[in-house]
Structures are given as C-alpha cells and as structure tokens.
Amino acid sequence: MSIEPDHRLTRRRLLRQGALGSAFLAAGPLLGSAPARAAVARPSAAITKGGTLKFARSVAPTQLDPANSIIAGDVYTLDKIFEPLFITSPAGELTPWLAESYTQSSDHLTWTFNLRPGVKFSDGTALSASDVVFSLKREAANVDGPLGFLDSAIKSVKASGTSRVVITLAEPWAPFLSDISVFANAIIPANFGGRSEKAFFAKPVGTGPFVLDSFTPDSNLALLPNPHYWQPGKPYLGGVQFNYVADDNQRVLQIQSGAADIIDSVPPANVAALKGVSGITVELFPAWEVDLLVFNEALPYFADRHVRRAITHAINREALVAATSFGTAKPGGSFFPPSLQYYDPNTPVLNYSLSSAKAELAQSKYPHGFATKLLISGGVEKWSEFAQIIQQSLAPLNIKVTIESLDHAAFESTFQAYNYDMFIDYAINDISDPDEMASFEVDYKGSGVKSYWSSYNNPAAISLVHQAQKEFDSAKRADLYAQIQTIVAGDAPYVPLDYPPYIYATGAKVHGFAVNPGGAYRLENVWLS
C-alpha cells in the first residue's frame, strides 16, 4: 500500500480519485485467469508514428528520483524514463524487461539475472551489470525511502561479467521478483553517469522509451522519444505532454473539446455521459485496490469481535456501490481485491443481513448499541456518501455514528496517530504479489502500523502471512492466502466496502493505451492516428 495527499497526490490519491466510487470489470479468481485488459483497441490500419500525446492528469510530478518517489505524479512519470528488471503487464503478470531471464538456486537464496542484450541508456551508453548493481544497492540501502522496505530481503548484489547480476537474499523470499519489479528498483547509470545526484535527476538518463524534455513544477512536464530505445521502432509517439489539471470538471471538458487526448480519474458520475460522446472511449481498468472501513481495536467497542461482525453484516455493500459508483465499482467481499493474485472468490464473507447483525450485537458486550465517530477525508464526495450510508446502516443497531470530516493531510495524521474510532480509506498493493497487502493489513508488528492502524492482531493469521512469504509452490501459496482471507473475513478487523477500478477517457486518435492493476501505464505502445 502506498501513500499520498490532496493535490500533491500520492499514488493512493490517484487511485482514490480515479476510483471515486468505482468498480471492477471482469473478475477472475486468480491472476492467471483474470482476463487481460485489452489495450484501447479501435479498428485501425497501420500504426502511424509521431504526434504529441496531450495527457491531462489529476496528479503532478514533483521530482524524478525513483528512490524518493511514492506520489502518483512522480511514479507515473519517472516510469517512462527509467525501467526495472521486470515489469507488471496490463494483465497483472510479471514480465521480464531489462532482465531477459533469471535462475534461482534450489534454496531460493541466490538469484541470477541475465540482462537483455542491446539495451542502451538514452545517452547511448550500453546497459551493464554494474549499472544494475549500483541501482539496486542504492535502493536496498535506502531503508528510510518510501519503498525501501521492499528490498529488505536483499543481502548482496554482485555483477558477474557485464551482462549478469547475482543477488543473494538473507532468507527465502517468495515475493522477491515482484519487489524487484517496483519502480523504486528502476535502473539508472552507475554513479549517476559521473554526474552529481542532483544534476543527474534534473536531466535524467534512463533506458525507458522517453527522455525528459522540460519540467515546470506543479504544472506540466514534457517527454521526447529516447532515440536509443531498445524496442525497435518504439516509442511511436513524437512526444508526451503531461498537464496537471486538478479539477475533475476541467479534465472532462478537456477531453470533450479535444484539448486533451487522455484524461485520468474520470469521476464515476461522468462515465455514462462521456461514453455517449462520439470519439471518446471510457476505459475501466481493474485495480489492486479496495476501500476499507477500519475499526480501531484499541477501543473496547471494536476490540469486541461481535461488534465488528455486527457492523459488517449491517452494511449493504451492493446497495452502497449501486448508490455511489454509477455502476463502475464492484461490492466488497474479501480484503484482497479480485484483481490480486491469490484472491479467493470463495472466501466466506459476512453478507448483508440485518437479522444476523442484530444477533451478533446481542452476543457482544454492547447489545444496546453505543455512540461512535467515523473519520473521513473531506472534499471527496465518495467518502462522504459512504459515511452517510454507513451512518444510516448502523442506526437500526442503535449504534450512533457522528461523521468527522478533515482535510486530507489532517485526516492522515489523525488516523496514523491511532486517534480515531472508525475511518474510511483505500488500500492498494504496489506490487503484483499479495504479500504487501497481507503484511500491511494483517501483520501487527511486521506492518509497522499495527495492521493498517486497526490494531488487529491475530497470531494464527500472522503466522500464515509469514509462511506464505517463504512458500514458492503457487498452489500452496494460494491455499495459505485463502486461509488468511477466511480468517480476516471472520474477524472483520475492517469492512472491505468496494473494489474501484481506474477510469480513463481517451480521444478517438489514441491507440494502444492500457493500465496495469498497479495503476501504471506504459506509453511506448501508444500511437496517434
């Protein structure tokens, strides 16, 4: 799960906006069987090259150092310039990228990566194993960085010749390939190509399809094609212009008027109308994201499992999604979203039932209800709609809910100080492996944040999370994660409210645009007719 603020959007924010109440299209039980989201496909003749893609985004880049990045504006800009050894495809699958292949030792401790031949940085120098060693060591040492924790299993990184890299792990770590594919582990030239760190990131050099042309803080950023890109003939675009457009209406108007070729975070309320505009395509991409109602188990009411179960039963998630997402989101069940690997569709979810809710509450220490507060981030219509629906849903249980709405930064500081009764926020997975979400939401100590600030602490579930981290057999991992999802569904430390998708709108000229479930979109396949 990553992080964020209001306009200084982090990835989480992007998700939130993209997903203001949204949904999931086609759900496959396991990642492998999840239908790949086809790129925006229009009947077309041959690919044409050139033209500048005008992309209006709700997020703005602030800087381009992968080691310092977590906000959406940074992450989804620098990934056009720098590339990691593996990437996650739009279908959510790990795909060899700068590494062409890899092998691992039978004890899972030594991983050898063979670099793709013929890869060059945008200044024309060839990619070498020393660049990979430098980049991965830099991120692994970046323990205080936003995603430094992902590399904690790495013990050493060594070059073997110029085209092979050997990584030794401190312990077997099943999510390792997913961790290596995160943008923070992107490859930069060794020693910043001989420049200072600051000078390098002001005019960065990477292996990605694009190079930085110009950057105006909090406003716009322009990219040009990398003439040395390793995929022949790509990128097709002659340039990319990212414009920061914070206002939802303004973005929608820009796509309607042709001022923008692509917009992100289409408000769900506008989806139907935009679909009716000829030449505009609205695309919903499944996301590794789930909106949660979180209980503070440090409080006596919510330490009572029956209370949490009663509240879960009392919330009609189908109706909530129908009322708020305009048909874009899917109602919540498991705390894993359906797009995530090892999601179990057979998780025994506590379904909506007022009689079950009343029966659970009757068994609790608070059979006659109580008064509590619900904290939300203000200014986002979706959260206030959710809060009101939850408030009304709990009234029949005589649980009186007061809604507290704070500006985003204040909201985050408040729940992160454990100073809340209940709060609503979204949780996302940054990598293709579900370990991140499982650890962050279930591992009381390992998460560093008491299981997503809920203080949920179930030793049986935590032990399963640890086992899954060291299990390399995918059938066994699927079973472990199914058990975790079952335990969490029964304990109800939080209510998974819905699974929102990423919503983008593209103009008639745009071809080949696709977003992966982590929210990243690669642009080397995009072309304009």
**What is the footprint of another protein within residues 6-25 (CB under 8 A)?**
6-8, 10, 12
Phi, psi of 31 (to 5 degrees): -55, -45
Judged by CB under 8 A, which stretch of 34-42, 137-145, 160-168, 454-462 contacts another protein? Answer: 137-145
Q: Token match 């999604």: residue?
A: 321
| Cβ proximity to another protein, 7 vs 306, nearer residue | 7
| Cβ proximity to another protein, 18 vs 209, nearer residue | 18
- Contact by Cβ (8 Å): 281, 266: no
Judged by CB under 8 A, which stretch of 87-95, 104-112, 245-253, 326-334 contacts another protein? Answer: 245-253
SS3 511: strand
**Cβ contacts of 328 within 8 Å, gap of 6 or more:** 21, 22, 23, 268, 271, 284, 500, 501, 503
Strand order in the sheet with 371-377: 330-331, 494-499, 289-295, 422-428, 371-377, 400-406
The contact mask relative to another protein for 448-467 (x = CB under 8 A, - = no) is: xx------------------
Phi, psi of 495 (to 5 degrees): -105, 115
Output the smallest distance, CB 143 to another protein, in A: 8
Output the smallest distance, CB 69 to another protein, in A: 9
Q: Is 197 in the site for another protein (CB under 8 A)?
A: no
Q: Which of 119, 129, 205, 245 binds another protein (CB under 8 A)?
A: 245
Residues 378, 516, 225: CA angle, nearest 5 degrees: 105
Output the smallest distance, CB 82 to another protein, in A: 19
Q: Which of 25, 28, 51, 63 binds another protein (CB under 8 A)?
A: 63
Can you tell me the distance from the alpha carbon of 239 to that of 304, in angstroms, rounded to the nearest whole number?
A: 57
| Cβ proximity to another protein, 395 vs 409, nearer residue | 409
- Contact by Cβ (8 Å): 100, 204: no
**What is the footprint of another protein within residues 303-342 (CB under 8 A)?**
none
Output the smallest distance, CB 236 to another protein, in A: 24
**What is the footprint of another protein within residues 255-274 (CB under 8 A)?**
256-257, 259
The amino acid that residue 341 corresponds to is: Q
- Contact by Cβ (8 Å): 481, 342: yes
SS3 433: coil
Judged by CB under 8 A, which stretch of 175-183, 394-402, 406-414, 479-487 contacts another protein? Answer: 406-414
Q: Is 244 in the site for another protein (CB under 8 A)?
A: yes
Can you tell me the distance from the alpha carbon of 88 to that of 474, in angstroms, rounded to the nearest whole number?
A: 18
Bridge-based pairing state of the strands 510-511 and 400-406: unpaired
Beta partners for residue 375, in sequence order: 404, 423
Judged by CB under 8 A, which stretch of 238-246, 264-272, 292-300, 383-391 contacts another protein? Answer: 238-246
For residue 246, how far is the Cα from the chain centroid? 20
Q: Is 518 in the site for another protein (CB under 8 A)?
A: no
Its sign, for the CA torsion 251, 511, 84, 64, is negative
Q: Which of 95, 103, 249, 351 binds another protein (CB under 8 A)?
A: 249
Output the smallest distance, CB 260 to another protein, in A: 9
| Cβ proximity to another protein, 213 vs 218, nearer residue | 218
Output the smallest distance, CB 103 to another protein, in A: 30
- Contact by Cβ (8 Å): 77, 65: no
Q: Is 218 in the site for another protein (CB under 8 A)?
A: yes
Applying CB under 8 A, the residues found at the interface with another protein are 1-8, 10, 12, 56, 60, 62-63, 70-71, 143-147, 149, 216-220, 243-247, 249-250, 253-254, 256-257, 259, 406-410, 412-414, 416, 448-449
